[in-house]
Amino acid sequence: MSGPPAALALAGRGEEETFLTLTVAGQPCALPVLAVRDVLAAQAITRIPLAPAEVAGSLNLRGRIVTAIDLRRRLGLPSRLPGEPAAMSVVVEHQGELYSLLADAVGEVIPLPREGFAPNPPTLDPLWREISRGVHREDGRLLVVLEVERVLAIG
């Protein structure tokens, strides 16, 4: 269930939209909860040689093969160090295929009011601007709202 295009949903629906928050190398991010299929603890991931750098590998989700995207790499953040805890998988579906977005921590499902929503600041890293649909202010922290479709536009 990929849901309606997120921007439309945001504009068309009432006051708030529900998001799943996650942390990528210390950066708080959010995904529209409707796009999320599953959240998994650390999984065994098979590397895929010659794949784009953002592809961490593939994993087995109840008999389906899921391609894992390393959000740190995708966002141009420093790679995970050997000592750090393994990443969590946030499974999303895109055009009938399952992908797992690797995040360091998964927070909670929260409704975000539209008032707190701001477009990407023009000074934002172009890479980020490309995959984020905006920024949300919440309790003194800034959440980067990721657009699943654009996160997966690799290659």
Partner 1 sequence: MDDLLADFLTETNEGLIALDAALLRLERTPDDRPTLSEIFRLVHTIKGTCGFLGLARLEKVAHAAENVLGRYREGTLAVTPDGISLILRALDCIKAIVAGLEAGGAEPPGDDGALIAALDAAAEGGEAGAAAPMPPAAEAPGPAPPSVASPEANPAPGAALPEDAAPPPPGGPGAAAPQTIRVSVEVLEDLMTLVSELVLTRNQLLQLARATGDSALTVPLQRLSHITSDLQEGVMKTRMQPIGNAWAKLPRLVRDLGLELGKKIVLETRGAETELDRQVLELIRDPLTHMVRNSADHGIESPEERRAAGKPETGRILLNACHEGGQIVLEIGDDGRGLSVERIRAKALAQGLATEAELAQMSEREVLRFIFRPGFSTAGQVTAVSGRGVGMDVVKTNVERIGGTIDLRSREGRGTTFTIKIPLTLAIVSALIVEAAGERFAIPQIGVVELVRVGGAGGGDGATEGQAPRVERIKEAPVLRLRDRLLPLVSLAELLRLDRPGVEEASEGAGDAAEEGFVVVTQIGAHVFGIIVDRVFDTEEIVVKPVAPILRHVTMFSGNTILGDGSVIMILDPNGIARATGVARDDAGEEIAGGGAAADHAGPGATALRSEARTAVLLFRAGGEETPKAVPLGLVARLEDIPRERIERSGGMPVVQYRGQLMPLVPLGTEGWAPEAAGSGGRQAVLVFNDRDRAMGLMVDEILDVVEAPLRIERGAAERPGFLGSTVLQGRVTDVIDTAWWLRQAGEDWFAAPAGGEPGRGAARILLVEDSAFFRHLVVPALSAAGYAVTAVESAPQALKLREAGAAFEAIVSDIEMPEMDGLAFARAVREGGGDWAALPMIALTSRADPADAERGRAAGFTDYVGKYDREALLASLRDCLAPPVALG
Binding interface with partner 1 (CB under 8 A) = 44, 46-52, 55, 57-60, 62-65, 67, 95, 97, 99, 152, 154-155
C-alpha to C-alpha distances, 113 to 11, 16, 118, 129, 137, nearest whole angstrom? 12, 4, 11, 21, 10
Report in angstroms how near the CB of residue 130 gets to partner 1 at its nearest.
16
Q: Which residue has the tokens 């010659």?
A: 50
C-beta of 105: minimal distance to partner 1 in Å?
24
Nearer to partner 1, 10 or 146 (CB): 146
As measured in angstroms, the least distance from the Cβ of 48 to partner 1 is: 6
CB 127 within 8 A of CB 76: yes
Nearer to partner 1, 18 or 60 (CB): 60
Q: Which is nearer to partner 1, 47 or 137 (CB)?
A: 47
Please state the closest distance from residue 4 (CB atom) to partner 1, in A: 22
Nearest CA to 104 among 78, 128, 124? Answer: 78
| Neighbour-count burial for 2-40, b at 16+ CB within 10 Å, e otherwise | beeebeeebeeeeeebebbbbebeebbbbbbebbbbeeb
Closest CB to partner 1 among 29 and 55? 55
